[in-house]
Amino acid sequence: MSTQTLLRERPALSHTGAHWATGPDLGVLADVFDETVTIAIMQRQLDSAMRASIAAQCAAQPWQLSWRGAPDATLEQALIRSMPAPQQAEALVSDVRLLAEAMACLFDVDAVGIRMRLLDGAMCPRFHCDNLPVRLVTTYSGPGSEWAPEVALNRAGLGKPEPGKPELVRDIGAIRQLAAGDVCLLKGSGWVGNEERGIVHRSPAVAAGHTRLLLTIDPEFS
C-alpha cells in the first residue's frame, strides 16, 4: 500500500475535547491539520527485523547524521553510507524513507530535512515548544519524548528560568511519554494559527550506560 493511500484512509477526527490524536497507522498523522490538535501520534510495535536492524546501529559510540533532499533512493544510499553497521541497516533505512515520504506527501513538499542521532544523554531536557511549524519525531531505541497536556501547563513559565517566573508544568503527574517506535508530529508555534499553542515537550533522561536512537524529520517549505 502506498504512503499516499495510508495517509488518505484516516477518517475524519472525532472531537473529544483533547488536543492530541492517536492511532495505529500513518493516517493519524493527518489529524495534525485539525486546528485543535497539537500532537498526532502513530502508536506501533516494531517487528523483530526492525529491532535487530536498530540494535546493530546502537552498538557503536554515539553518532549523528544530517541530510536534506527528496525522500527517494538517494536518501537510502546516504543513510546506508552513514550507518555504523550498514550491512544490518536495510530495515531501519526503509522505515526512515517511508516516514520521509509521508512527510513530503502530507505537507506537499519536495524535500525534507533529516537528523538521526544515537544519544547518551538528554538533548533538550527542559520543557519547551519549538518555534517551527511542525516536526516528526520518533525514538527507535531507548526512552521516548515526553509531552505535557495543555491542562497541565502555565504558559507564563515558558522560556529560560527567571526569578518569579512560574513553573511551566504545574501537574507533573500529567506528563505523558511516547514509547519506542511511536511516531509523532509535534505542531510548533511557527504553525500559522498555533502561535500560542505549540506542543510543550522535552527529551527524556537517558540512564547511565544506555543510549537513545532518535530521528527527526522537518518538511522543507519553500
Mean pLDDT over residues 101-109, rounded? 97
Mean pLDDT over residues 2-26, rounded? 69
Q: What percent of the chain has pLDDT over 70?
A: 91
pLDDT of 4 over the 80 cut = no
Q: What is the DSSP string of 9-58?
A: TPPPPPP-S-SEEEESSGGGGGGGGSTT-SEEEE-----HHHHHHHHHHT
pLDDT of 53 over the 80 cut = yes
Mean pLDDT over residues 160-168, rounded? 86
The per-residue pLDDT for 122 is 65
Least confident of 111-115, 123-127, 152-156, 202-206: 123-127
pTM over 0.95: no
The per-residue pLDDT for 15 is 44
Q: What percent of the chain has pLDDT over 90?
A: 74
Fold of domain 38-219: Jelly Rolls (2.60.120)
The per-residue pLDDT for 17 is 62
Largest CA distance in the chain: 54
C-alpha cell at 190: 511557527
CA geometry: angle at 54 spanning 188 and 90, to 5°?
Answer: 100
The per-residue pLDDT for 14 is 45
Q: Which of 222, 214, 191, 167 is nearest to 66 (CA)?
A: 214
Query: 7 in helix, strand or coil?
Result: helix
The per-residue pLDDT for 144 is 95
Digit-coded pLDDT (tens) for 28-47? 999 999 999 999 999 999 99
Confidence of residue 164 (pLDDT cuts 50, 70, 90): confident
